[in-house]
Structure 1
Amino acid sequence: MRDVTATEGSSWGRRPRVLSPLRQHLRDTFWFAPIAAMAAVFVVWAVAHELDALIVEALKEHGSYQELEDLARFADDAKSVVGTVSSAMMTFIGVVFSISLVAVQMASGQFTPRVVRLFVRSRITKATFAVFLATFVLTLLVLTSYDSTSDPAALVSVPLVQSVLTLVMVALSLLLFVLYVNATLRLMRISHVIARIAAESLPAASWMPGPESGAAPPDFGAVTARVLHEGQAGVLRDVHVARLVRVARRHGIVLRLIPQVGDFVVTGTPVLAVHGGPAPPRAALRRVLSVGVERTYHQDLGFGLRQLSDIALRALSPGVNDPTTAVQALDRVIQLLAALSRRPLDAALHLDRARTVRLVQPVPTWTALVDLGFAEVRGYAVGNPQVSRRLLAGLDDLLLLVPPDRREPLLRHRELLCQTVSREAATPTDRAFALWPDRQGIG
C-alpha cells in the first residue's frame, strides 16, 4: 500500500470528485449526441453550400463554358450517388438499432439487468448513431442544393464541396460501423463485461479516507440536530465532500452522514446528524447530496460487488447452468476484495485545513463487503465443484493478504462452505474433490 499525503477534505488519498448530475444524465441517455451531431451538420452544410456558390460564381467570371458544362455533368453523377447514400444510411441506422436491442436483451437476460448501463453508456454506440444520423441529414440537405436547370450558364450552385463532404461522412460511417460491431461483440462476451465492472469499481477504493492508524472514529458527543432529506426519493449516488467540510468548518460543527452511498433515501428521513451546534441553514446544504434512480460506481464500494455477485448467481441458476462464468465473476470479486483488504473501512473521516474532522461518512464494513461478495454465491456452490474449489482458493489467498483482525469473516465463509459441501456430497471422494482449492475451479 503506497503512502499518500492527506489533503483538505480527506484523511486518506485524494478527495473524491463531485458527481455531476448533468454529466450523468448525458451519459445515461442517447438523445444528446445525435441531436448535437445533426445540429453541427446543418452548420457544416451551410458553410459548404456557400463555398459551392463561390466556386460556381468564380467559374462564371473566369472560367469557360466547357468547365461549367463539366461541372453540371459532375452534379448529375453526384446526385445519383448522394441519393443512393441517403437510402443506404436509413438501412444502416436500422441495422445498428437492431443490433443494439439484441445485445441489450441478451445482456439483461444472461448476465444481469445492472449491466445494461454499459451498453447505454457506450461512447462508440452513441458516436455511431450520431454520425449515421448526421450523414443521413447531410444527404437530404445536399439533394436540396441541386439546380433543376439543364443550362450550365444558368447554374447558381453545384454541390461540389457538399458531395465531397458526403463521401467523407460515408467513409467515417463505415469506419464507425466496424468499430461499433467490434465493441458490441466485446460487450456481449461475459469476460469483457466482468473486467469492465471491475475496472470501473476499483477507482472507488482509491479515495477511501479514514484514520491513518486504523483506529475507531473519535467521539463527537451527542447529536445536537438532524437534517432531513427534502428532495425526491431515490438512491444516494454522491456526497459533495468538499462543500460539506466547508459548511461544517464555517459553523464550527461536525457533520455525520447517516445513509451510505447506495442506500435508498425517502423524503423526510434524516440524512445528516449534527454534532456540536445547530444545523446549518438549508441554503448552505443545497446540492450536497445527489439522489438518482440507480446506483453508480462513484463512491459506492459495494455496487461492483453487487453486480459481480448477480452475474455469478445468474450463471449458477438451473436455467443457465454456467459455472465457468461464476468462476470468472469470483475472480473479480477476489480482486476487488484484495484491493480493499487493507483499506480503512467502517467510517470515512474528512478533515479541514486545520486537520480537524468535519465530516464522517459511513462506508461498508469489511465483513459486509465479504458477505456481499461470497454469501449468496457460496449458497449455490454446492453441486458445482468448479465454483467451490475456486471459492476456497480465493478465500485462502485473501487470508494471506488481510490483517489478523479481518480474518474472521473469511474463515467463517470457508467453514460454512466446507460444512455445506461435506453435508451434500454423495461420497468422501466427491467431498475431497469439491474442497480442493483451485484458482481455475477445475483447471
Structure 2
Amino acid sequence: MPSIISTDQLRFYINRLRERLWVKPLVACLLSIAAALAAKLADGTELGLILPTIKPEPVETILSIMAASMLVIATFAVTSMVSAYASASSTATPRSFSLVIGDDRSQNALSTFIGAFIYSIVALTAMKNGYFEAAGRFTLFILTAIVFGVVIITFVRWVDSIARLGRIGTTIAKVEHATAQALMLRQKAPTLDGIPVVSQVHGWAVFASHVGYVQHIDIAALETWARKNEGRVVIAALPGTFAAPGRELAYISTCSGEITENDKQQVIQSFQIGNNRLFDDDPRFGLVVLSEIACRALSPAVNDPGTAINIIGTLVRLFVLWNNPPSKTEDEHAARYGRVEVPEISIHDMFDDAFTGIARDGAGTVEVMIRLQKALQSLVLIGDASMQEAAKHHARLALKRAQLALNLTEDLATVCNAAAFASTDVSPRNLQGLSGDGVQNHRAP
C-alpha cells in the first residue's frame, strides 16, 4: 500500500484530531512558550536605544495577576463545557456528542485561557531571573497587553457561545451543518471518486476482520493495489455499514485470478472500522441522528412535538440540498480511480433513515403527521423520479400508522387530506370505513 497519505485520508485524520480536546490547548501552550521567550530577541537589536524604558515591577504584577486568574477561568471553562456536553447528550441524542465536543469556539476559548496561563508563568519566571533587558521587557509588556486583550475578547464571546452550547436548537443546527457537509461531499463524488458498479462477476469476497462500523474507505490505496495487481475492486460496504466477520467489505479480482492472503489484508486495511459511525463520509448517519432527536422529543417523557416539526423542516432542507447538486466540469465528472467500483447511496435508504422513526413515534400526534405529509409532498414536487417515489411511499406508510394511532375521525380526515398527493385512493371519503370510536376497519392503500 502507498506510504503517502491521500488528501481524503488526511482530511479524515484531521477531523479526528479536531474531536480531541487536548490538541488545541497543546498547540496554544507551545505557542505561548515560544512567544514569551521570543521577546528576548529584541535585546539583540538596537531597539533598546529608542524604546521607552519599563521597570520590571509593573510587568511582573500584570503577569502575576494573569497567572492567578487564568487557571481559575480555564477550570470554569472546562466545568461549563462538560455540563454543556452532558446536556446535549441527554436532551438531544448521545450520537451528537462528537459534534458538540468539536465546537471550535469552546475549544478556542479553552486553548486561549490555558495558553495565557502558560505564557504568564513562563514570562514571569523569566522576568524574575533577569532574563530580559530593556528592549526585551518592553516587547514582553506589549505581548502581555495583546494576550490580555485577546483573553478578554475571547471570554466575552465564549460566554455568549457556552450559553447556547448543549441546547437542543444549537445541537440540531450542528447536526444539520455536519449532515449538509457530508451530503455536499458525496454530491461531488457520488462514487467516492471511483466508478459506478459495472462488473457482473465481482470476484473474491473480502470480509471484515472485526466488528464495527465502516468509518472511511481509502479509495486511493485500493486503486494502488488494483493497479499493482492488474485487478479490480468492487466496494460492498459504504461508510456507515455495520461490518462483521461474515459481512463482505469488497470483492477483488486480478488478471491472473490468484488472490493471496496478503492481498486480502491490504484491502481490509483500506477500510477504517470503528465502534461508532461518523458524520464525515456517512450522510445517512446525520439523517439518523436528526430522526433520533425528533423521536426523543416525541416520547411521552419529553412530549415536545414542536422539536419534531422543526426536525422535519430540517430534513426537507437537506433533501432539497441533495436534489440540487452543484454543476461539474468535464474534468470533475471523470473518475480519479478507474479500477475501484463503488455503489451510489440509495435515496430510499436515506428516506428510511430520516422519516421512518418520526412517522412511527409521531403517528398519534396530528400536527406532526400533517407537517410530515406536507414535507413529503414538497419533496415530491421538487424531487426527481427516485425521490418522488420514495416520498410517496413514506407518505402512504405514515398514513397507515396514523390510521392505527389517531382516535379522532376529524384528525384522521385532516391527515388523509394532506396525504392525498401520494395516491388517488387517499381521500376523506375513505374514512367511511371507520367505526364510531375512530378505529380503522379497512386498510389504506
CA 88–219 in structure 1, closer or farther in 2 if over 3 Å, else same = closer
Q: Name the structure 2 match of 1:331.
A: 313
TM-score w.r.t. length of structure 1: 0.77
CA 381–48 in structure 1, closer or farther in 2 if over 3 Å, else same = same
Alignment map for 1:284-433 (pairs within 5 Å):
285=267, 287-341=269-323, 358-404=339-385, 406-433=387-414
Aligned mates of 2:171, 2:129 — CA distance in 1: 54
CA 416–26 in structure 1, closer or farther in 2 if over 3 Å, else same = closer
Contact 1:388–1:435, Cα closer than 8 Å, also in 2: no
1:140 corresponds, among 114, 121, 125, to: 121
State the one-letter code of the partner of 1:225: W
Once the two structures are superposed, residues 219-243 of structure 1 have per-residue CA deviations (whole angstroms, 9 ceiling, x without a partner) of: 432x44233445x643211112233
Aligned mates of 1:410, 1:364 — CA distance in 2: 16
Deviation at 1:389? 1.1
Aligned mates of 2:408, 2:319 — CA distance in 1: 33
Q: Which runs of 5+ in 2 are unaligned?
A: 1-5, 326-332, 420-445
Aligned mates of 2:416, 2:154 — CA distance in 1: 49
State the one-letter code of the partner of 2:232: V
Q: Name the structure 2 match of 1:263.
A: 241
Of the structure 1 ranges 232-241 and 167-176, higher mean CA displacement relative to structure 2 is found in 232-241
Aligned mates of 1:75, 1:398 — CA distance in 2: 69
Q: Secondary structure at the match of 2:233?
A: strand
Aligned mates of 2:206, 2:153 — CA distance in 1: 53
Deviation at 1:138? 1.7
State the one-letter code of the partner of 1:88: S
Identical residues among aligned pairs (%) = 21
State the one-letter code of the partner of 1:218: V
Q: Name the structure 1 match of 2:142.
A: 164
Contact 2:208–2:248, Cα closer than 8 Å, also in 1: yes
CA 42–405 in structure 1, closer or farther in 2 if over 3 Å, else same = closer
State the one-letter code of the partner of 1:383: G
2:216 corresponds, among 218, 238, 246, to: 238
Q: Secondary structure at the match of 1:17?
A: helix
Aligned mates of 1:21, 1:417 — CA distance in 2: 37
Once the two structures are superposed, residues 373-421 of structure 1 have per-residue CA deviations (whole angstroms, 9 ceiling, x without a partner) of: 1111101112322211110001111222334455444333222322332
Aligned mates of 2:128, 2:407 — CA distance in 1: 84
Q: Name the structure 1 match of 2:153.
A: 175
CA 148–104 in structure 1, closer or farther in 2 if over 3 Å, else same = closer
Q: Secondary structure at the match of 2:159?
A: helix
State the one-letter code of the partner of 1:302: R
Q: Which runs of 5+ in 1 are unaligned?
A: 1-14, 150-154, 211-215, 344-349, 439-443
Aligned mates of 1:166, 1:22 — CA distance in 2: 35
Deviation at 1:123? 2.0
Aligned mates of 2:56, 2:137 — CA distance in 1: 7
CA 209–144 in structure 1, closer or farther in 2 if over 3 Å, else same = closer
1:273 corresponds, among 243, 251, 261, to: 251
2:186 corresponds, among 205, 210, 219, to: 205
State the one-letter code of the partner of 1:32: V
Once the two structures are superposed, residues 142-194 of structure 1 have per-residue CA deviations (whole angstroms, 9 ceiling, x without a partner) of: 32234589xxxxx9678333233222111101111222233334444433432
Deviation at 1:91? 2.0
Aligned mates of 1:425, 1:224 — CA distance in 2: 51
Deviation at 1:351? 7.5
Aligned mates of 2:247, 2:230 — CA distance in 1: 24
Aligned mates of 2:70, 2:164 — CA distance in 1: 24
Q: Name the structure 1 match of 2:206.
A: 227
Deviation at 1:332? 1.9
Q: Secondary structure at the match of 2:120?
A: helix
Q: Name the structure 2 match of 1:5.
A: none
Contact 1:53–1:156, Cα closer than 8 Å, also in 2: no
Aligned mates of 1:123, 1:98 — CA distance in 2: 17
Aligned mates of 1:160, 1:31 — CA distance in 2: 32
Deviation at 1:316? 0.8
Aligned mates of 2:129, 2:382 — CA distance in 1: 78
Say whether residues 1:37 and 2:28 are aligned partners.
Answer: yes
Once the two structures are superposed, residues 39-91 of structure 1 have per-residue CA deviations (whole angstroms, 9 ceiling, x without a partner) of: 222222122145368789x57xx99xxx9xx74xx432332232222211122
Aligned mates of 2:86, 2:42 — CA distance in 1: 46
Once the two structures are superposed, residues 280-331 of structure 1 have per-residue CA deviations (whole angstroms, 9 ceiling, x without a partner) of: 7538648522223322223313111011101101111112111111111111
State the one-letter code of the partner of 1:198: E
1:27 corresponds, among 15, 18, 21, to: 18
1:47 corresponds, among 26, 38, 53, to: 38
Aligned mates of 2:23, 2:322 — CA distance in 1: 37
Of the structure 1 ranges 266-275 and 249-258, higher mean CA displacement relative to structure 2 is found in 266-275
Contact 2:197–2:343, Cα closer than 8 Å, also in 1: no
Deviation at 1:111? 0.8
Aligned mates of 1:352, 1:330 — CA distance in 2: 35
Aligned mates of 1:322, 1:400 — CA distance in 2: 29
- Aligned pairs, number: 394
TM-score w.r.t. length of structure 2: 0.77
Q: Secondary structure at the match of 1:144?
A: helix
Aligned mates of 2:31, 2:390 — CA distance in 1: 56
CA 394–46 in structure 1, closer or farther in 2 if over 3 Å, else same = same
Contact 2:232–2:252, Cα closer than 8 Å, also in 1: yes
Contact 1:382–1:424, Cα closer than 8 Å, also in 2: yes
State the one-letter code of the partner of 1:432: A
Aligned mates of 2:250, 2:17 — CA distance in 1: 29
